Amino acid sequence: MTEEPVTITPAEETHAPLPVDETAEYTKRITRTLIAVGAGCIAGIICFLTEQATATSGAGKSFIFPILVMIASIIIQKHIFMLIRIDTTKLEKKDWFYQGFITFAFWYVTWTILLSETTIST
């Protein structure tokens, strides 16, 4: 049995990762969260105002329009991110799920609070 010589490959050069400005990333995450909160609150207010308008006009109540308002507020966030120069290509599916969930939660809570008559009329 003959031994074959072991070829030694030169070690690959690994480059150090680029430094990440943690405060800038943190600021971007907070900004994205605040945009989702604002979009959800605005969507809840829009749904409340349109609910009042349809109730006084005698039109039938439909749950499709409020859902569309909430979905539109999620979609509009991407355009807001582009306006304030947040790179949307770096956002993953989990980031968009987070944006959608925060928007949904604040939309639902805002709309529910506005619809409850006990907190409005005192």
Summarised one tens digit per residue, pLDDT across range 17-63 is 767 688 888 988 999 999 999 999 999 999 888 876 665 555 556 77
Lowest-pLDDT choice from 12-21, 41-50, 98-107, 110-119: 12-21
Q: pTM of this prediction? A: 0.72
If one counts every other C-beta atom within 10 angstroms of the C-beta of residue 99, the result is 21
Distance CA 100, CA 105 (A): 9
- CB 107, CB 42: distance < 8 Å: no
pLDDT at residue 56 in the model: 58
